[in-house]
Amino acid sequence: MKIEFGGIILAARTIVPFGPQHPVLPEPIHLKLELEDEIVVGALPQIGYVHRGLEGLVDKKDINQLIYVCERVCGICSHQHSMCYCETIEKLCNIEVPERAKYLRTIWAELHRVHSHLLWLGLFADAFGYESLFMQTWRVREKTVDIMEKTAGTRIIISVNVVGGVRRDLDDNMITELKDYTKEMKGVFEKFKKAFGDDKAIINRTQGIGVITAEQMIELGGVGPTLRGSGVKQDCRLLPDVGAYKNLTFEPIVENGGDCYARMMVRMRETIQANELIEEAVNKLPAGPINVDVKPKPEGEQISRIEQPRGELMYYIRGNGTKNLDRLRIRTPTFSNIPPLLKMLPGCQMADVPVIVLTIDPCISCTER
């Protein structure tokens, strides 16, 4: 489309497809970008490329089998999906989960947060061409998934949650290894914070780029580090019925810049905080059983929320008193953060689009299910 005045072409607008495959992006997100020269003036998302119909499996899978389905909504934050699903069933059926199980769920949840944020930080570094920093963050991430393998049996989709608690416990050797891990990671994460936060090239590519205010984020329904990067102190770990967080020293990480740099630093600082929460939870781990033997047949409706690495995850279930649910509906953080993303893009350079998109940490597998 051409814009003319007095026979002179002032600007030409072009529609450029961005994704679903792009060298910088780890996710198949697809945007139609409206450009005026090299400036983005509009963006329209298109979703549906990896839709799998997981919510429709309530007709074929019973309540316990659905735990494994929920874990496969997204591998990177699989533990939080099954944890949120189990907590929803437990609330609806008035099942009291043992305290030790709550602490164990919290430990594994924060290990997932660490490995998710390290994965993202590596991809973010790679977007700038910093391959060495990419390799270093993923090298440390390997130690995190190794710890998950030692404590849960597998590296990513650990499948420890059951309705009524968890299926695996930590012995003394595992607890010692967790303590050694958290001690080692303290110094490593502080070095990463300096490497990401003080580098002039990263600062030039992120500060003042993709700015969105707190008011706009709230209005558009943003969640997680994307929301907290605009100065909004909101985190589902503050809720009283989520894991064992109410017994831990926790305060949401907030940055006030509202730009790509602020969102990056929220995730970097959350990685440090998650390591501290793991250490505290291990030190406070109470004795006792890790689950209760139940055969749930929920009846009625229930909603639960939990804080994924990417933000607020919400599960809705409706039971009919049998071993199969009537409804399962999931609202994922990337779905909530796409409207704010469309607000961040207009006014930026085309070259900044991959960086801005990465700062919401998109997970299209979560979004489309």
50 falls within a domain = no
- CATH number of the domain that residue 230 is part of: 1.10.645.10
pLDDT in tens, 1-38: 555 545 555 556 788 888 777 666 667 778 888 888 88
Q: How confident is the model at residue 295 (pLDDT cuts 50, 70, 90)?
A: confident
215 falls within a domain = yes
38 falls within a domain = no
Residue type, 71: E
**Mean of all residue pLDDT scores within the chain:** 88
Res 23: pLDDT: 61
27 falls within a domain = no
5 falls within a domain = no
Gap between the Cα atoms of 291 and 101, Å rounded = 6
191 falls within a domain = yes
Q: Are 102 and 244 in contact (CB under 8 A)?
A: yes
What average pLDDT does range 137-144 have in this prediction? 92
pLDDT in tens, 159-187: 899 998 999 999 999 999 999 999 999 98
Residue type, 33: L
Residue 99 belongs to domain spanning: 61-368
Res 5: pLDDT: 45
Res 30: pLDDT: 83
53 falls within a domain = no
Gap between the Cα atoms of 82 and 73, Å rounded = 10
What is the number of residues in the chain?
A: 369
Structure tokens at 315: 């599960």
Q: How confident is the model at residue 86 (pLDDT cuts 50, 70, 90)?
A: very high
256 falls within a domain = yes
Gap between the Cα atoms of 202 and 39, Å rounded = 21
What average pLDDT does range 92-120 have in this prediction? 93
Does the structure show a pLDDT above 50 at 334? yes
202 C-beta neighbours (distance < 10 Å), count: 22
Q: Are 50 and 365 in contact (CB under 8 A)?
A: yes
Name 92's Cβ contacts closer than 8 Å, sequence gap at least 6: 298, 299, 300, 301, 302, 317, 319
* Beta pairing partners, 32: 17, 44
Sign of the torsion formed by the C-alpha atoms of 110, 51, 361 and 202 = positive
- φ, ψ for residue 94, nearest 5 deg: 55, 45
Residue 182's Cβ-side half-sphere holds a number of Cα atoms within 13 Å equal to 20
213 C-beta neighbours (distance < 10 Å), count: 13
- If one counts the domains in the chain, the total is 1
Does the structure show a pLDDT above 80 at 368? no
Q: Are 286 and 100 in contact (CB under 8 A)?
A: yes
Res 127: pLDDT: 83
Q: Are 366 and 77 in contact (CB under 8 A)?
A: yes
Q: How far is CA 8 from the centre of its chain?
A: 48
